[in-house]
Amino acid sequence: MGVGPAMMARQHRKIEAARVRRGAPPGKPAMHLLRLQLALLDLLCTGTLTLDVGEQRDELLAIRHDETPWAQVEKRFRTLRDGVGGCRRADAAARRAGRAPDRGLPRPRPPRLGPGVGAGLGVGVGVGRSPDRS
């Protein structure tokens, strides 16, 4: 299971169910889900994975320590979810038009697997290495 909008929606439902059961929002899971959404949005929109939360650190810690009203946390979830959806729609439109999604950066190419990968006892060329030319 990958990290994406569907997984985040499932996690959000779990957080909401826990909030209803406990009568209080579970701050730590909500904070981590928001961190994932921030990273995913950055990755989808810029092509760069940024794990440092930087200026949002204080906001995330306030959520973790249940110092933020739940309505504000929900608004943040919606804002990030809509942003992820917007980037995904823009990417889909670019693909339909026959061009690469524009993220302002060159799209990195995944490394090619060399011959022998996965053959035998794992001896061969790994990801990102060139085959021996001897």
Per-residue model confidence (pLDDT) at position 119: 37
Number of domains in the chain: 1
Sign of the C-alpha dihedral computed for residues 63, 65, 68 and 69 taken in this order = positive
List, run by run, the mean pLDDT of 10-residue segments along the chain (134 residues): 66 81 81 85 78 86 90 85 72 69 51 38 39 46
Per-residue model confidence (pLDDT) at position 106: 47
Range of the domain at 133: 1-134
Sign of the C-alpha dihedral computed for residues 51, 54, 56 and 62 taken in this order = positive
Per-residue model confidence (pLDDT) at position 5: 65
pTM for this model (two decimals)? 0.57
